[in-house]
Structure 1
Amino acid sequence: MERIERRKTRRANPLRLLDTGVGLVAPLVAIALWQWVAASGWVNPQVLPAPSEVWRKWVDYLLPLVAWKDYADGGWLSWAFSGELPADILASLYRVVLGFALGAGLALPLGLAMGASRSVYAWMNPLVQVLRPIPPIAYIPLAMLWFGLGNPPAVFLIAIGAFFPVLMNTVAGVRQVDGIYLRAARNLGAGRLTMFVRVILPAAVPYILSGARIGIGTAFIVVIVAEMIAVNSGLGFRISEAREYFWSDKIIAGMISIGLLGLAIDAAVNKLNNHLLRWHRGLEH
C-alpha cells in the first residue's frame, strides 16, 4: 500500500508543477501587456503607472527600512521607516479572524438546529430569508451609529458577511443527508442523538466546510470595505488614503497585496478542507 501511495505522489508532483506553470502564463502576459502600454505613453502614468513603478512602491510599502540620509554637519544617519504593509496585513487579518469566528460561531449551531428540526426551520427560515439578501455594506451606517469608529463596526460587518454562507450551507448539508444512511442507522437501533452525532453531522461536514470557505472569502471582502470607511488602519484604509493623494502606484500595490493575501487564505482553507475530508475522498488520495 505504501508503494502505491509513493507512486501516486510521484505521478502527482509533475502534474502539479505543470498546472502551476500553466497558471503563471496569464499573469505574466498581462504584466507584459501592461508594461508595454505604459511604456508606449498611451495612458497618463498618474492614472496607470508602469508595473516597474508599482513594484518599487510595493517594495517600499513592504520593507520596514527603506531610506537613509547622511547629514553633512555631524555625519549622523537619519532612517526613514515605512513597513506599513506587514502592519496593515496583521490588522486586516485580526479583524477577519475575529469577525469570522463570531459569525460562524453563531451560524453553525443555528444551521444545525434549522436543518435537524422542522419546527426550528419553520420559525427561523422566514427571518433568515428576509435578512439574507441585505448586503453587509448596507449595514455600514447602522454599524457606525451603534459602534462608532474602529474595530467594533468592522468586526460586526465581517460577522454578518460570514454568517449567512455558513448558515445556509449548514442547513443544506443537514437537510440533504442521504435517506439510506438514516434508515440504516434506525435499523441498527440508533437514537436521535446518536444519529445526529454519528450520521447527520459527519455527512454535513463537506457542506459546512464549503460554507466556511465562502464565508471567509466574503469576510475578507467586507473587511476591505469597512476599513475604507470606519477604520484608520489595514489594507482598505491604506488604499483609501492613497486615493486621496493620487498615489496610483500605491493603490495598485495595495490591490495586488489584497489579491495575494486572498489567494493565500483560500489556498490554506482549501488545504485544510482536503485534510479534514480525507475520509470523504475515498481512494482518490
Structure 2
Amino acid sequence: MATSLSGHLRAHAAGAVVPAVLIAVWQFTCSMGWVNEHVLPSPWAVVTRWVAYLLPQTPLAEAQGGWLAWALSGELLIDAAGSLYRVGMGFLVGAGLALPLGLVMGASPRVYGWLNPLMQVLRPIPPIAYIPLAILWFGLGNPPAIFLIAIGAFFPVLINTIAGVRQVDSIYIRAARNLGANQRVLFLRVMLPAAVPYILSGVRIGIGTAFIVVIVSEMIAVNNGLGFRILEAREYFWSDKIIAGMITIGMLGLAIDTAVNKLNNHLLRWHRGLEH
C-alpha cells in the first residue's frame, strides 16, 4: 500500500515538473516586461482573476475595498455547473442513441450495409457546422447546445461500438454455437462482453468531444457557461479572465477524463493486460 502510494506521488511529481517550468518562464517573461500584459497577463494576474471569478461578493470584501474585492463575481461555479449540465445531458442523448444503434449495426451485416453509407457521410461533418440549424430548430438556450453536444458524442460511441462488436474473435462465436447458444445468447453473452473495451473507449472519447463542443455552443446559443464567459471576456479584452476560463476548462476536462479512466479500469478488471 505504501509502495503504491509512493509510486503515485512520484508519478504526479514528475508530471508537475514541465508545467512548473513553463509557469516560471511565463512569469519571468511577464516580469521583465517583454510582452504586453493585456496580450499575455502574468500567471499571478491570471490566478488573481481566477480567484475573483470563483469567490462571490460579500459585504466584508466590499468593505475592505481593493481591485479584487471589486472584481469578485462568484460566476465560476455557476458557469461550471451550467457547462457540466450541458455536457452530461448532451452526452446521455448522443451515447444513448449511438450505443443501441452501434450494437445492431455491428451484429447485423444487413443493417450495417443499410446504414453505414449514411453514417460515413454524416460523420465528417463537424458539430460546429450544425450551429445555424440548431438555432433555427431549437432557438437559443440549452436545447441547441445539447443538440450540438449530442452530435459530438454520437459518432465516437457509435464507431467504437460497431468496431467492438464486429471484431469479436470468431473462435468465441464458433465455440458458443457449438455449445448450442442461440443468436440472443450469442449477442448478450459473447459479443457484448467482448465489445465492452471498445465501447468504453468510445465513451471516453465521446465525453472529451462533448466537452469541446460545449464551449463552442456556449459562445453562440446561451448566456452562461464557461464558453459564454470566455467570449464575454474577449469583448472587454480581459485576457486574464480568458486564460482563467481556459484553465478551468482544462481542470474540469482532466477531472472528467481521470474519473472515466478509473471507471473503465474498474469495469475492465477482467480484461487481459490490465494490472489489478
Whole-angstrom CA distance in 2 between matches of 1:89 and 1:38 = 29
Q: How does 1:107-256 map to 2 (within 5 A)?
A: 107-256=98-247
Q: Partners of 1:251 and 1:79 in 2: how far apart?
A: 18
Q: Once the 2 structures are TM-superposed, how far is the Cα of residue 70 of structure 1 from its aligned partner?
A: 7.2
2:63 aligns to what SS in structure 1?
A: strand
Matched, 1:62 2:54: yes
Unaligned runs of 5+ in 2: none
The answer as to whether partners of 1:68 and 1:80 remain within 8 angstroms in 2 is no
- C-alpha distance in 1 between matches for 2:152 and 2:71: 38
- TM-score normalized by the length of structure 2: 0.95
Gaps in structure 1 of 5+ consecutive residues: 1-8, 72-77
1:44 and 2:32 correspond: no
What is the CA–CA distance in structure 2 between the aligned matches of 1:137 and 1:282, rounded to whole Å?
A: 38
Cα drift, residue 281 of structure 1:
4.1
SS in 2 for 1:65: coil
Work out whether residues 140 and 157 of structure 1, in 8 Å CA contact, stay in contact via their aligned partners in 2: yes
Q: 2: distance between equivalents of 1:227 and 1:80? A: 23
Deviations 1:199-230, CA, capped at 9 Å, x for gaps: 10000000000000000000000000000111
Cα RMSD between the aligned structures? 1.7
Residues 74-105 of structure 1: CA distance to partner in whole angstroms, max 9, x if unpaired?
A: xxxx9986110000000000000000000000
Supply the AA of the counterpart residue of 2:157: V
Q: Tell me, yes or no, if the aligned pair for 1:69 and 1:79 is still in contact at 8 Å.
A: no
Q: CA deviation at 1:16?
A: 1.5
State the alpha-carbon separation in 1 of the partners of residues 119 and 63 from structure 2: 59
**Rounded Cα–Cα distance in structure 1 between residues aligned with 2:71 and 2:145:** 31
Q: Which amino acid in 2 is paired with 1:33?
A: V
CA distance in 2, matches of 1:79, 1:33: 30
The one-letter code sitting in structure 2 at the alignment partner of 1:68 is E
**Whole-Å Cα distance in 2 between the matches of residues 56 and 44 of structure 1?**
18
Aligned residues: 271
Identity percentage of aligned residues: 72
Distance in 1 between the 2:274 and 2:12 partners?
A: 24
> In terms of Rg, which structure is larger?
1
